[in-house]
Chains A and B, each alone.
Chain A
Amino acid sequence: MSATTAAPVWTKMRPKQGALSRLFDWKPFLAFICLLPAAGLLMTFLTYPLGLGIYLAFTDTTIGRPGIWVGLENFIWLAEDPIFWNAVFYSVFYTGVATIGKFALGLWLALLLNQHLPMKSLLRAIILLPWIVPTVLSAIAFWWIYDPQFSIISYLFIEMGLRETNIDFINTAWPARWSLIAANIWRGIPFVAISLLAGLQTISPSLYEAALLDGASGWQRFRYITFPMLLPILAIVMTFSIIFTFTDFQLVYAITRGGPVNSTHLLATLAFQRGIPGGQLGEGAAIAVSMIPFLVFATLFSYFGLARRKWQQGEGND
């Protein structure tokens, strides 16, 4: 090594930033660039179809013929269509009864799973099964269970001597309606149970101990501790559940196709029926658009559920 080698000079000065580097340090630009992919995807696959659907609802488009703007004609027509009103009724009924069923059974299951049970994790995994099976598969299974001739339920009842004849599950209106609701409850319980279980596990055990010392009975611990503490998550899970149930399509379409005699059409199945096989794209879109007010209502429900949480437990917002 020669002694003349210059020692490296370091002035502690930051090197000057290039133009591009400065641009990326500019917050508005950075935010715009980062949002672009997500916004692009949402615009393409969400906003465009939604906009197109709403536009179609105000036209008389059919398959193969671009329609013209007809204003509210589709809706006026639907307002006088008993099949449409039947679908509205059954959508609300289906959502209401199935949600009550899912939450009653799901909450009960969550409370059970929150206890110290042997093989707890295995049980939880089993509970999730109905949720992970593809809907169409489980719908086909239910189709068999409800089959007029080969129904396993009918078979068991007859074998046990409780009935003489097969049960009519899906070939008359009301039994078909109830049968679909039962299938939907079966499918929806895991989502509710696992979500509520997660909520239950965030409740500190010492609250229950404190309540125990305060003299609370089992019911009172549920009523005054578990339920109010679970309410925020309950509101959110219920919102999602209502939205999923109201827009349900697969179960009904795979089991009854809306029959018998259109008695089990939900708005989603009716919209598809009219729009695609029926070819009346405008009318189908109008039916789909008529679901929006119901869904907005469900979202508001969630909003108020969240607002309540802030004031109970969240940080800030005093």
Chain B
Amino acid sequence: MATVSVRQALKSFGTTRILHGVDVEIADGEFVVLVGPSGCGKSTLLRMIAGLENITGGEIAIDGRVVNNVPPKDRDIAMVFQNYALYPHMTVRQNMAFSMKLAKAPAAIMEEEVQRAAKILGLDALLDRFPRQLSGGQRQRVAMGRAIVRHPQVFLFDEPLSNLDAKLRVQMRSEIRELQQRLATTTIYVTHDQIEAMTMADQIVVMNGGRIEQAGAPLALYDKPANLFVAGFIGSPAMNLLPGMVADGGFRTTGGALLPLPPHAHTNVATYGIRPEHMSLSDDGVEGTIVLVEPTGSETQVTMRMGETVVTGAFRERVQGRPGDKLRVLPDLGLVHLFGPDGARLPS
């Protein structure tokens, strides 16, 4: 178990800069999720921590030791790859024992470790199978087993669930989280799926274009997104982000809708953010025309048009309207997010 510090990490491929000075502090035993859209540099950062990519600038320390020039095998880390990278010509047992075999561990200890990991992951019956004889979820578990037997200081996961179907993904999500809590090993997990990030992380690091947009606890990011990018990225369905300006005693969107502002609001508001779930049906609300109604059972998502502005609302109530009907909705003024012209959150 160890801490991981990334200080001003830079990465360039040729003249293309991928990471522009990234700082991340990871406490011992913490589960950190790096999340962001494709190409934001999150996988590159993970591979730099693993030692599979060299570090163009800055430094990375594991357990206080700077590892910039330490080869991957001496960093005491284990990684689960997106495609699992199981050795196809080895059985599950051989796959899991490979690192110990290279380290010339005695056969008895190897078998004991493999059995222990297999028990944790429910792979006991599959030890003599080849990877091709396993289902996606089982392969995923073998990849984790290969990581567990090494007792590494840090686990690295590179989008491990992206090849699984939706149901299995939810199941493996909780299995990974549970396993991490049991082993209490520092874990860095890369995903582009913000729901995975929200449900699994102790700390989320939102990345975009090679920079960190915001880092913090999942709910802190949800409640107080630092800028427009985080506001739009975290939360599902996504937050309504409506450009416009303060006028006419409220916020006039460029589409023409007039939305109420919280008291003492800043006058320099350029974007008005409200999450769909923070709107309620109210007779004294803002009128909109229904475009689409999507019932999910537990709630109903309604897309409506206010002037030219399209707003999404999610309501606990069952909305009976049809496209073209009028609906009045009211944003919860305590949960409105206001952003300045530079995209940064305005203090409320």
Give the interface of A toward B (CB within 8 A).
Answer: 204, 206-207, 209-216, 220, 224-225, 228-229, 311-313, 315, 318
**Complex CA–CA separation, A311 to B52 (angstroms):** 31
Report chain B residues within 8 Å CB of A311: 130
- Knowing A206-B81, A207-B87, A228-B89, the reply to whether A213 touches B102 (Cβ < 8 A) is no
Report chain A residues within 8 Å CB of B71: 212
**Complex CA–CA separation, A220 to B103 (angstroms):** 11
**Complex CA–CA separation, A99 to B85 (angstroms):** 33
**Complex CA–CA separation, A224 to B89 (angstroms):** 9
Q: Is B50 in contact with chain A by the CB < 8 A criterion?
A: yes
- Knowing A207-B87, A210-B85, the reply to whether A215 touches B130 (Cβ < 8 A) is no
Q: Is B98 in contact with chain A by the CB < 8 A criterion?
A: yes
Q: Which of A211, A213, A216, A225 contacts B50 (CB 8 A)?
A: A213
Q: Which of B72-80, B203-211, B235-243 contacts A (4 or more CB under 8 A)?
A: B72-80
Which B residue's beta carbon lies closest to that of A311? B130
**Complex CA–CA separation, A180 to B51 (angstroms):** 49
Which B residue's beta carbon lies closest to that of A208? B85
Contact A204–B83 (Cβ < 8 Å): yes
Taken residue by residue from 78 to 94, chain B's Cβ proximity to chain A (1 for < 8 Å, 0 otherwise) reads as 11011101011100000
Taken residue by residue from 53 to 80, chain B's Cβ proximity to chain A (1 for < 8 Å, 0 otherwise) reads as 0000000000000000001110001110
- Knowing A229-B88, A313-B132, the reply to whether A216 touches B83 (Cβ < 8 A) is no
**Complex CA–CA separation, A213 to B53 (angstroms):** 12
Report chain B residues within 8 Å CB of A220: 102
**Complex CA–CA separation, A209 to B82 (angstroms):** 12
Q: Distance (Å) between the CB of A242 and the closest chain B CB?
A: 24
Q: Is B133 in contact with chain A by the CB < 8 A criterion?
A: yes
Q: Distance (Å) between the CB of B73 and the closest chain A CB?
A: 4
Report chain B residues within 8 Å CB of A228: 89
Q: Which of B52, B133, B150 contacts A212 (CB 8 A)?
A: B52
Q: How many chain B residues touch the partner (CB < 8 A)?
A: 25
Q: Which of A209, A215, A312, A318 contacts B102 (CB 8 A)?
A: A215
**Complex CA–CA separation, A225 to B98 (angstroms):** 11
- Knowing A207-B87, A312-B88, the reply to whether A212 touches B81 (Cβ < 8 A) is no
Q: Is B180 in contact with chain A by the CB < 8 A criterion?
A: no
Q: Is B99 in contact with chain A by the CB < 8 A criterion?
A: yes
Which A residue's beta carbon lies closest to that of B88? A313
Report chain A residues within 8 Å CB of B99: 213-215
Contact B98–A224 (Cβ < 8 Å): yes
**Complex CA–CA separation, A100 to B79 (angstroms):** 39
Contact A214–B89 (Cβ < 8 Å): no
Contact A213–B79 (Cβ < 8 Å): yes
Q: Chain A at the B interface: mostly helix, strand, loop or mixed?
A: helix
Contact A213–B98 (Cβ < 8 Å): no
**Complex CA–CA separation, A290 to B198 (angstroms):** 74
Which B residue's beta carbon lies closest to that of A315? B132
**Complex CA–CA separation, A315 to B98 (angstroms):** 24
Contact A215–B52 (Cβ < 8 Å): no
**Complex CA–CA separation, A13 to B146 (angstroms):** 61
Contact A210–B81 (Cβ < 8 Å): yes
Contact A225–B87 (Cβ < 8 Å): yes
Contact B88–A209 (Cβ < 8 Å): no
Q: Distance (Å) between the CB of B43 and the closest chain A CB?
A: 12
Which B residue's beta carbon lies closest to that of A214? B99
Central interface residue in B50, B78, B81, by most chain A CB within 10 Å: B81
Report chain A residues within 8 Å CB of B72: 209, 212-213
**Complex CA–CA separation, A224 to B99 (angstroms):** 11
Q: Distance (Å) between the CB of A108 and the closest chain B CB?
A: 22
Q: Which of A206, A212, A229 contacts B83 (CB 8 A)?
A: A206
Beyond the given pairs A207-B87, A311-B130, 12 more chain A to chain B contacts, judged by CB atoms under 8 angstroms and listed by A's residue number, are A209-B79, A209-B81, A210-B79, A212-B51, A212-B71, A213-B50, A216-B102, A220-B102, A228-B89, A312-B89, A312-B130, A318-B133
Contact A213–B77 (Cβ < 8 Å): yes
Q: Distance (Å) between the CB of A218 and the closest chain B CB?
A: 11
Report chain A residues within 8 Å CB of B81: 206, 209-210
Q: Distance (Å) between the CB of A186 and the closest chain B CB?
A: 33
| Sampled A-B contacts (19; CB under 8 Å) | A204-B85, A206-B82, A206-B83, A206-B85, A209-B52, A210-B85, A212-B73, A213-B50, A213-B51, A213-B73, A215-B73, A216-B73, A224-B87, A228-B89, A229-B89, A312-B89, A312-B130, A313-B88, A313-B132
Central interface residue in B52, B78, B150, by most chain A CB within 10 Å: B52
Q: Distance (Å) between the CB of A156 and the closest chain B CB?
A: 42
**Complex CA–CA separation, A215 to B99 (angstroms):** 6
Q: Which of A213, A216, A225 contacts B78 (CB 8 A)?
A: A213
Central interface residue in A206, A215, A220, by most chain B CB within 10 Å: A215
Q: Distance (Å) between the CB of B7 and the closest chain A CB?
A: 23
**Complex CA–CA separation, A225 to B89 (angstroms):** 8
**Complex CA–CA separation, A204 to B73 (angstroms):** 19
Q: Distance (Å) between the CB of B26 and the closest chain A CB?
A: 18
Q: Distance (Å) between the CB of A201 and the closest chain B CB?
A: 16
**Complex CA–CA separation, A210 to B82 (angstroms):** 11
Q: Distance (Å) between the CB of B27 and the closest chain A CB?
A: 23
**Complex CA–CA separation, A313 to B79 (angstroms):** 23
**Complex CA–CA separation, A290 to B161 (angstroms):** 59
Q: Distance (Å) between the CB of A221 and the closest chain B CB?
A: 10
**Complex CA–CA separation, A184 to B194 (angstroms):** 61
Contact B132–A214 (Cβ < 8 Å): no
Q: Distance (Å) between the CB of A313 and the closest chain B CB?
A: 5
**Complex CA–CA separation, A312 to B132 (angstroms):** 8
**Complex CA–CA separation, A166 to B54 (angstroms):** 54
Central interface residue in B85, B89, B130, by most chain A CB within 10 Å: B89
